[in-house]
Amino acid sequence: MLDLRRQYEGIREEVLAAVTRVCDSQSYILGPEVEALEREISTLTGASAAVGCASGTEALWLALVAVGVKPGDSVITTPFSFFASASSIVRAGAKPIFVDIDPDTLNLDAELVMRELSQRTHQETVRAILPVHLYGQCADMDALARISTDFGIAIVEDAAQAIGAKWNGGGAGSLGITAAFSFYPTKNLSAYGDAGIVTTTDLELAEHMRRLRNHGSPQRYYHDEFGWNGRIDAIQAAVLRVKLPHISDWNQQRRQHAATYDRLLAQAGLISPISANSTSPVRALARSPQATHVFHQYVIRADRRDELRKFLAERKIGSEIYYPLPLHLQNVFAYLGLKAGDLPVAEQAAKEVLALPMFPELTEDEIRLVVEGIAGFYS
């Protein structure tokens, strides 16, 4: 599914030199490496500022609190994402409102967000919309930006899977007022441990998030509000700075692999484009023309998905299910009162999605092997 060793082999000397540089400096938390990373990520994303923090989850919390989400508020998000997209809302004291996804891209359905907001009861308390750029493709930011303007509601991008992704040429991380990125080791740009960053187009918000990640403290041992320790280590920042100059090439290689999957699956007669009455056992997800996809994952929808996954595993071909249970059906969200059938598009996707091996150093032969495995299953 993912072989990080291949990447490490190419950058080993530089990484070890960067770690040594931090050890020699004896400056381990925040400091010049983190500040340099923050500048470099602002430039990459097109945001005005970036604030390094402990994880993508922490980044989401910082972003939500900074835009003013507080107890009693609600935040609209997708039920088809990693848990942190919703748990961060709860940690900010608010209630998630799950809105179903677009059946073609599996991103938050802007039309349904609009419908949800048009119900007056929600409009009064919804403080933010949190779209997730799922699998590395931006959600419909044209429609969401219009909604944000019309209703005066902030957009917090969950860009954890989307470093380097674009929408109409604008970088993920600069499309809303603030955005969260994860540098978890499996991400397109990954640390050697937990780390994250939050970007923003508002310098005052950046300053607020800098305080929040450091115990809400404008000055050491003086506290005006409750934050806590959400800081990033200098060693993680140094490792990320070694990798950052490669991210554009690595994302391009992912796009090439996606094109190879598309071609080989089509040649094998396995895949059909999105179509309600498709008879093909494997279906592609839609690619928005406005989006520059970074293929954090290459995901298909497959008939008899769980059997296919087992068949591939027996042939030592990795695959993953992102995500097997939508968030509104998780036990921990039972208090919201949603039940099976309430968000049918997400529920159906959870039964069908399968992520295939995807990382920059993957070879065409390996992709061929995966496609042959899938063909073998359906033949």
81 binds ligand PLP (CB under 6 A): yes
Select from 85, 214, 280, 292 the one that contacts ligand PLP (CB under 6 A).
85
Residue nearest to ligand PLP (CB): 56
Nearer to ligand PLP, 167 or 377 (CB): 167
Separation between Cα atoms, residue 134 and residue 155, nearest integer Å: 16
84 binds ligand PLP (CB under 6 A): yes
Distances (CA, A) of 139 to 42, 129, 245, 287, 354: 20, 12, 26, 10, 20
297 binds ligand PLP (CB under 6 A): no
Strand 74-77 with 95-98, pairing: parallel
179 binds ligand PLP (CB under 6 A): no
137 binds ligand PLP (CB under 6 A): no
Nearer to ligand PLP, 116 or 194 (CB): 194
Nearer to ligand PLP, 197 or 300 (CB): 197
* Binders of ligand PLP in range 192-221 (CB under 6 A): 194, 196
Q: How far is the CB of 180 from ligand PLP (least distance, A)?
A: 7
Q: Which residues contact 274 (CB under 8 A, 6 or more apart)?
A: 103, 104, 283, 284, 285, 286
55 binds ligand PLP (CB under 6 A): yes
Task: Detail the DSSP E strand segments found in 32-119.
Answer: 49-53, 74-77, 95-98
Number of residues in contact with ligand PLP under rule CB under 6 A:
15
Nearer to ligand PLP, 42 or 190 (CB): 190
Cα 328–chain centre separation: 18
184 binds ligand PLP (CB under 6 A): yes
| Terminal Cα-to-Cα distance of the chain (whole angstroms) | 23
Nearer to ligand PLP, 235 or 367 (CB): 235
77 binds ligand PLP (CB under 6 A): no
Q: Which residues contact 204 (CB under 8 A, 6 or more apart)?
A: none
Asked whether the CA dihedral 36, 37, 38, 41 is positive or negative, the reply is positive
Closest CA to 132 of 322, 289, 301, 320: 322
Residue where the block lists tokens 């293929």: 295
Report the SS3 class of residue 351. helix
Nearer to ligand PLP, 128 or 374 (CB): 128
161 binds ligand PLP (CB under 6 A): yes
Residues that bind ligand PLP (CB under 6 A): 55-57, 81-82, 84-85, 132, 158, 160-161, 182, 184, 194, 196
